[in-house]
């Protein structure tokens, strides 16, 4: 494994020799770097280095937010756009549960790799919020496909469900952000 260095100011870790004049993360002089020994086994580091969960998790988050925006727009958009908006909402709604399942699966792999178990308090919260987000997404699909979003009450229900989905997404992001600060054991 390559020699690593760590910025004393911000904790940024990189390969020795990659730093020019300043830390690319926080901008302090390169002299602020010190040798760093990675405590994570190389196999675990390689799995975590793929960043599968952080990449996959952005799809359902952006889909939930996009559905909310489209739902709100459908109340004020000109009638000519109504069909396009509703069709787009049905397509994104249909994809949302599949990407949530992928996010949950990669989250399990990431949690097991990073913390060696998925029963830590934060991971339990993430599982509960993730499953709630998944159930909400399935209800969103049911409303979008069964009712075709043609009446105002259906659109109000759809909009409320997207608000709930965005809320779960935000909660998951906040917990995930806190987990980013967790130190990994070897």
pLDDT for 54 equals 85
Domain boundary assignment for the chain? 4-38, 45-179
pLDDT digits (tens, 9 = 90+) for 116-155: 888 889 999 999 999 999 999 999 999 999 877 888 899 9
Residue 178 CB neighbours (<10 A): 11
pLDDT digits (tens, 9 = 90+) for 39-96: 778 888 788 888 888 889 999 999 999 999 999 999 999 999 999 999 999 999 999 9
Cβ contacts of 172 within 8 Å, gap of 6 or more: 57, 61, 126, 129, 130, 133
Radius of gyration of the chain (CA): 21
Of 11, 8, 31, 36, nearest to 19 (Cα)?
31
**Do the Cβ atoms of 125 and 176 come closer than 8 Å?**
no
Q: Give CA torsion, residues 167, 159, 94, 76, to 10 deg.
A: -130
- Name the class of domain 45-179: mainly alpha
């Amino acid at each position: 494994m390559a020699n690593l260095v760590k910025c004393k100011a911000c904790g940024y870790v990189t390969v020795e020799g990659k730093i020019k004049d300043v830390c690319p993360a926080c901008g302090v002089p390169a002299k602020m770097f010190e040798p760093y020994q990675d405590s994570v086994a190389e196999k675990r580091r390689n799995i975590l280095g793929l960043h599968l969960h952080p990449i996959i998790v952005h799809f359902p988050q952006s889909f939930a937010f996009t559905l909310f925006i489209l739902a709100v727009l459908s109340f004020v958009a000109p009638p000519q756009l109504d069909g396009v908006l509703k069709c787009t909402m049905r397509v994104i709604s249909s994809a949302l549960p599949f990407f949530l399942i992928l996010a949950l699966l990669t989250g399990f792999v990431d949690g097991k790799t990073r913390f060696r178990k998925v029963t830590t308090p934060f991971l339990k919260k993430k599982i509960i919020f993730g499953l709630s987000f998944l159930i909400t997404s399935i209800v969103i699909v049911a409303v979008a496909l069964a009712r075709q979003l043609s009446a105002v009450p259906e659109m109000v229900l759809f909009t409320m469900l997207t608000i709930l989905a965005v809320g779960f997404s935000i909660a998951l992001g906040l917990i995930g952000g806190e987990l980013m600060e967790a130190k990994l054991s070897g």
